Amino acid sequence: MNVKLSNQSLEHIEAQLTLEFVSAKTLTSHPLYPLLSQGGFNATHESLCPLHERAVLVCGIEEDATGETYRSAMATAIKAAMKYGYTSLKCAQYTTDYFHALIEGVVLGSYRFEAYKSETNPSLLGEVIFSYKNHDKTANDTDALDAILHQTLIIANATNFVRDLVNQTPHDMTPQVMADAANRLALKNHLECTILGANDLKEEKMNAMLAVGRASTNPPRLIHLAYKPKNPKKVITLVGKGLTYDSGGLSLKGATSMVTMKMDKAGGCAVMGMIKAVSELKLPIEVHAFVGAVENMIGGNAYKPDDVLVAKNGKTIEVRNTDAEGRLVLADVLGYAQENVKADYIFDYATLTGACMVALGAYTTGVMGHNEALKQTWLRAGENSGEYCGNLPFNRQLKKLIKSELADVCNVSSKPYGGAITAALFLDNFIDENMKEKWVHFDIAGSAYTESAWDVHTYGGTGAGVRMTLKWLMEQCQ
């Protein structure tokens, strides 16, 4: 979708369809109210009334509209407009505060993944034009709007890039293919890229990660992408869980639980999208993205419950459930990342636990770590970016539940409560002491994939974490 900004007022912009947002309060004063009333339109949020004889699409908006409500309303309107026969749409500005939300509504709301359809149904709508003037005829600063448009398009397109990666099937997106995608991104965006194969992982003593991938015919890969501007203000490490498929291993998942497990690579895909956007925005921050790309399968050489693994940092792990594999991969990748990059902060992203969905619901990312002040900055970044986040607090009583009688730590809790937190507390064993206060863990198990459309999200990967992280990173540049 081509999104543009015009320095003309709405009536002078050439486009086939005009989009207007109307609240219940302003409905009766709208010049087309008689037609809208005749159509039964009452301006409830996201309700639509197409007036094709006037080439106008009217969308209801809440009276006290926010960026979130404009984003969702725009997504609803754009999805409807894509089903019509118009090739272009125009819309008035609704102040600079909401402009980024409107752009996201267009780019994210218009997303379609049809790579596996034998017959696609392309939309004729290819262009959306925003006026630099508000709906009340007041004008905005065109330079400010241009900057918002440029920035938002990069972040929204990076989010869709992540969606494309997540939505690819496990047959098509193996660890090696994921590494190939990272290489292509590095070439296009002038990033450094290092790929470690199975032999390299063995040399690095990344035994936990190797154990998870041992039964697969697709060997694991560790991906390291780096963006290094001159004189960076900060150095940030991003770590992503990249389980290209998770059968559960010998602790086999049920049949219904295996469906959608291509999404278990969403954390790894997300950090690739983040560094893509950082490089295109040319932020003055050095960023390192690490992905543990692994396939967890079954076979005669699969790792087993009762195994004890030695992680890269030397800590021993008692395996009691092979379906708690993502944390084993992250244990080694976190160790490798900290050994190779001296960062100011380290953040990891993982579709780690179903327990996070039980705690926070299917739309919200769990935020965990030791530093409460740091976590609060992330909760604000989530809110300001349009992503839902919830704080899940650590405590020493839960930490006792991953105690092992055989090894240093157990990979699952001894009780079925607080599973998202105990998983994060497991990861804490692999965070260096000097990084404890500089680390945040994001559990995106609920927010990274959806089978029901909501807000700007269609079926499949959502790109969770990208907008929130870019918001936080950009704040560090100020």
- Give the active site residues: 253, 327
Residue type, 200: D
> Is the distance from CB of 445 to CB of 368 less than 8 angstroms?
no
Which residue stretches of 391-453 are H helix?
A: 396-399, 419-428
Q: Determine the Cα angle at 296 with ends 259 and 250, to 5°.
A: 90
Non-local CB neighbours of 164 within 8 Å, separated by 6+ positions: 113, 461
Q: How many Å from the N-terminal Cα to the C-terminal Cα in the chain? A: 31
Number of helices (H), then strands (E), in the chain: 16, 19
User: Tokens representing 422?
Assistant: 């105990």
DSSP secondary structure of 116-185? T-SS----S--EEEEEEEETTSPBP-HHHHHHHHHHHHHHHHHHHHHHHHHHS-TTT--HHHHHHHHHHH
User: Tokens representing 345?
Assistant: 């902060």
User: Tokens representing 17?
Assistant: 């369809």
> Is the distance from CB of 121 to CB of 76 less than 8 angstroms?
no
User: Tokens representing 22?
Assistant: 């109307």
Q: Where are the beta strands (DSSP E) in 206-363?
A: 221-227, 235-246, 286-296, 308-310, 316-318, 345-350
Distance in angstroms (rounded) separating the CA atoms of residues 186 and 184: 5
Distance in angstroms (rounded) separating the CA atoms of residues 153 and 156: 5
> Is the distance from CB of 365 to CB of 375 less than 8 angstroms?
no
Q: What is the 3-state secondary structure (H, E, C) of 5-66?
A: EECCCHHHCCCCEEEEEECHHHHCCCCCHHHHHHCCCCCCCCCEEEECCCCEEEEECCCCCC
Residue type, 121: N
> Is the distance from CB of 366 to CB of 460 less than 8 angstroms?
no
